[in-house]
Structure 1
Amino acid sequence: MGTYRAVEFGEYGEPEVLRVVDRDIVEPGPGQVRVRVRAAGVNPVDWKIRSGLLAAHRPTEFPSVPGGDVAGVVEAVGADVTGYEVGSEVLGAVGNGGYAEVVVTDVATLALKPAEVAWEQAAALPIAANTTYAVFDLLRPVAGETIVIHGAAGGVGTVAVQIAVDLGLRVIATASEANQDYLRDLGAEPTVYGPGLVDRLRTLAPDGVDLGYDVSGHGGSAILVELLGGPSRVATIADYTASDIGVPFVQGVETEKIAGRLTAAATLAAAGKLTIPIAGTFPLAEAPATHHLSQDGHVRGKLIIVP
């Protein structure tokens, strides 16, 4: 069958524990396809897993290949697969294994990639879109309501703002001073982090805020609970401790919903309603550099690995 190159780590540690290795190509099983990866997205959760920061919540079996966001071409199809064939162009939220030339995944994690969407854009979408739609499944926004998205300039926040705008929400978004115009261009009303944030948000929305979506952590859930007067319509994808104040941590792991969510996001992208700035593209060998950049926390948009 041959081999393929992948980035793996065999222990928790700094980005330098990531190394490129050769792995044996395997055939997809029932309900699976093998995808030749054209681009893979880098997410903050990748370095949090690699560093051991999430070991208590998401234990890792070593050696592990990081990367949940991929886009590529189906090159082999397992039994009982419908809707995909050799040559199908796809994007997927595959869980892990994305920093590689090849990934085998369940078709439930995939959607067809529209021809209008570039490979890097397709690889930037899956996790951000899937988790955002999962948050909205939980919070049930109604057009005309006001949402605060905390930490909105990164890859997930960028997607969240645009999906919220598409759903007809008024979007107030927090980010650094340098990202205010960027968020305004996405259709949000921006304000900066830091002391006095709750007061600034109340000034922007004197009639109140209906929903809160914490993308970045750093105490954002507590701020949103204070703003809304309770946790009932607040969710986080960045703070595992938020459950202590009644805020659910959303992972978007309902497999039966992933394909539909990705299809919705891909449709928006094809229509020009959902786009993500690509902060940089890197070969497999430079995966450690992507983790250093992601850990610094100042990436606007998405880092992409191109095998």
Structure 2
Amino acid sequence: MKKKWLLSIFTSFLLVSGFGANSTAQAATVDELTNTAKQYIGAPYKYGGTNIKTGIDCSGYTRYVFSQLGISLKRTSKEQYTQGTAVSKSDLQPGDLVFFNTSGKGVSHVGIYLGDNKFISATTSGGVEIDSLNDPYYWGSRYVGARRVAEFTTEDVEKIQAEQAKVEVKEAAIDFSIVVSRGEAAIRLAEALNLDTTDQNSPFIDVKPESKYAGATTALNKLNIFTGDSNGKFNPGSPITRGQLAKALVIAYGLELKGEPATFADVSKEHWAYEYVAILASNGIATGREDGTFGVDEYATFEHLDTFIERIKNAQ
């Protein structure tokens, strides 16, 4: 805490004295940055928005994340592109700001580089999410450049890369006979809602008409229950988290908050899923664990999904 307090004072001094616009500032660790940034995965997008809960745009998101670490960024992506120092794509480090031309009129989108060619940003289609910097379908061709507004140590970079490697290994070993994928969740939810799934013309580029997920994903997308990522993908084979499932169920069944919201140790009021988890819990659909957590970022299982749907039906 002392480090962040001193950093905040130092950053304020730079801004007031005029030296901060094109110089770098010493940041917190890579772990602190990435953990803060990933905490808001799934937060909704809103053009011009600055509220992580009700809606935030790309530059509002980067500004908010960096502010949590005592670093001040300008408001728009174009303005942020003037801060710090330019960095070549081959020299990118976690914490660098990466910029894109998504409008055809110059810099119009900004994200935070996480390492391993991944970056996180607030997108118009999927809210805050992680994407590939070299994605051939969208981001790769729209990349403009990067700026370094903070420095991180080599030890931190190596540590976060090691953690990412662990995550990749973990996801590769997921037992999908227990953990429910987005595609399977779509099928079961569409069935529970008795939706018309005859329309196989899925809006998602990774769900072809012949896919078993086509009808369900199309029907759910029409109701805005499930949306794709910024690349137009649904990612049917990816696991769905308990937080993401809570959001889908609240929207699908039009659930509203009943009484005082329950509190969970791992779901702060600033967490993007706070409202959805609170609503689900207030309706008696989901409960916490003995340690006071909800498991918001843990993968949902078929048992979770079926239990939640059954409880919703019984409550109606």
Alignment TM class, shorter chain as reference: under 0.3
Larger radius of gyration: 2
TM-score normalised by length of structure 2? 0.22
TM-score normalised by length of structure 1? 0.22
Larger relative contact order (Cα-Cα within 8 Å, sequence gap ≥ 6): 1
